Amino acid sequence: MIKNLSVLLVACSLLSCSGFGPGKGAAIDRFTLVSRHNVVINEPDSLGALSVGNGNFAFTVDVTGLQTFPGYYENGISLGTQSQWGWHSFPNAENYELSEVLDSFETCSGRKWPVAVQQREGRKTKAANWLRANPHRLHLGLIGLEMIKKNGETVTIGDLQNIRQTLDLWTGAITSEYEIEGVPVKLELYGHQEFDMISFRVQSPLVSEGRLKISFRFPYGKDCHVCPGYDWTQPEKYQSRIAKQTDRLVLIQRTLDETTYSVGVQWAGNGRFSAADQPHKFMLAPAGSSDVFECSVMFDGENRDITLPDFETSKTENREKWASFWSTGGAIDFSECTDPRAAELERRVVLSQYLTRIQCAGMYPPQETGLTFNSWYGKFHLEMHWWHGVHFALWDRIGLLEKSMDWYRQVMPEARLIAERQGFDGVRWQKMTGPDGHSSPSSVGEFLIWQQPHPIYFAELLYRQHPDRETLERYREVVFQTADFMASFAHFDITDGKYHLCHPIIPAQEIFPASQTDDPPFELAYWYYGLSTAQEWRRRLGMAPNEKWQDVIDKMTPLPASEGLYLPAAGALEAYANIAFQKDHPIVTGVYGMLPGTPGLDTAMMANTFRKIQDQWDWASTWGWDYPMLAMCAARLGYKEAAVDALLMGVQKNTYLVNGHNYQDKRLRLYLPGNGGLLIAVAMMAAGWDGSTGQNPGFPDSGRWKVRWEGLKKMP
């Protein structure tokens, strides 16, 4: 499965280049730019599965063009059919409640507040486990081919010959061609851009010979931490039945405890649809003399009985929408660069745009593995939403970020309950959650706070592109309620006259214990940015400044530092002398990279800190978004060659597979925060940030990085 990892790692040679940006030369030929990175697969590769989708739904296929051999891909990029609406919960027969897993933790102020944590005894343990695992994202069903050889045996993946599978990025089409005993098979697949639907056309003599059928298999939900999200072992616990059937249309009704949805199947030409010889399996058998068979399948959480678009209609709609996507928004062209790493960087950038469009642009914040397989039970992590969503704004596709912003308003009542329970004002945003906004117990995640300012940052990005009253009114409550929490969370220490962020906290560098951690620098800087931005929103709305917010802004404690270096937390004096502290996310660099810094930031000290981290960090312990974070810090510091080196650092977790997915390890074979982070950093290095000067301010200027771009936006 990992045989090709080594060839995808990029050497960290110190090479450099100069660039020019917009207004220089002809417009970018976007079709050529995108098409030179079409994905081609010539053999079964468990890490090479390809997907189609629309942001709210994705469908991942093997080399046959459908989901014919899911077992082969289970430990790679598994064959998912997932949606934003498709969730399932096991019955809560024991009536577990969040109150059962609340423990009180003493704060620096001397008072205590309750936190929902993972428990280690009896019923509390069971309650925490149930609450973490429910709801979980549901695999909606597998659609595959069943092909028969001349001797009557079923085709296996090893029987496929002369494979050529192509993802055409400009059209969104996956075309799969191969042979079975010398007989050609061609399958063309599209994902609809409005409905949660696929359409495909299969062409082969096997069709007219009756040796090719389409299978539909429907699973039960799975409460696994990381897995494909299906369970085939409990067929008695759910129902899959034909609710309607005509000559060329079938509606399948799915019932899993309290979850219901429908699957519509419509085909052109003659065909027979019937239940198979095992539960929850159905077969569609083409009939007649034609070698061509077309089919559309829609997954619908609203259980609608509608006529589906046929293959040609779906094909046209899909091609038009993808051409529009690539023709608008930002673009960046590295073809005139002479640095040997430029082509690989461009490949990663183009494929990351495709993947984040189909996996991360839906009505909810995405999970870290998108709509491909479940991680953390399919729930989303709000601290990761920054990495999933900010790039849409910088690439002038702000509407794709805006889609998930309404969710914050929907779950404000839940966020307000958390704040009230702990004695704070405003709303405390969840960490690990699902569509309902219920917080999941965690001994780590519930102590994180760096997700709190995210909605303010997002709202500001929206305002920068739509600076009008309507935008301010639409998001004012989210911005103001977030700021109210942030101001009340900051603790005023009468001994030094400063506001502090104090325990229990686990910072973004998660190795520090909650009960002993105070004043992590990134969180301090983000608190300043969030409150200052919220105050600016009041000014824009003609409102007086909020006195409490301003008091915190004016009296926020300085970033912790010692011996010319910024520390990862107050009192962490051994951080750069002890390797035990040089693991996980080097989030100190985010202070002046992800963020524009704070008043009083010592850029010379930040430069010293950057170099220390660059020289000493345990990079094997880092994650996919750490490399773009490092690149953004390097860019702001003027370390342009180091910025490129960070983006292309040759470590396993910075691997980008043939399909563009950011591979982490055997557990997380894809990691979309890495893709999103790459797009953020590249846009920033090209278009710049507030206060930057010159063209391509983050790329080296010695002549080897002749970068052309258009349509990108500056970063705050």
Amino acid 21: pLDDT: 57
Amino acid 7: pLDDT: 34
In this structure, the number of other CB atoms found within 10 A of the CB of residue 601 comes to 19
Strands 281-286 and 212-217: antiparallel
Rounded distance, CA 413 to CA 410, Å?
8
- Could you tell me which residues come within 8 angstroms of residue 307 by beta carbon, excluding any fewer than 6 positions away? 249, 266
Nearest to 326 by CA among 405, 403, 396, 386: 396
Amino acid 19: pLDDT: 43
Torsion of CA 545, 548, 553, 554, to 10 degrees: 90
The DSSP string of 159-225 is GEEEEEEEEETTTTEEEEEEEETTEEEEEEEEE-SSSSEEEEEEE-HHHHTT-EEEEEE--B----S
Structural element, H or E, at residue 124? helix 122-133
Rounded distance, CA 277 to CA 86, Å?
27
Global pTM reads 0.96
Rounded distance, CA 576 to CA 567, Å?
8
pLDDT in tens, 609-631: 999 999 999 999 999 999 999 99
Rounded distance, CA 563 to CA 26, Å?
51
Amino acid 25: pLDDT: 64
CATH architecture assignment, domain 46-89+135-326: Distorted Sandwich (2.70)
Amino acid 10: pLDDT: 35
Q: Which residues of the chain have pLDDT under 70?
A: 1-25
Query: In 3-state terms, the chain is what percent helix, strand and coil (to 5)?
Result: 35, 20, 45
What's the whole-number average pLDDT of the chain? 95
Torsion of CA 128, 133, 135, 136, to 10 degrees: 170
- Per-domain residue ranges of the chain: 16-37+333-375+622-716, 46-89+135-326
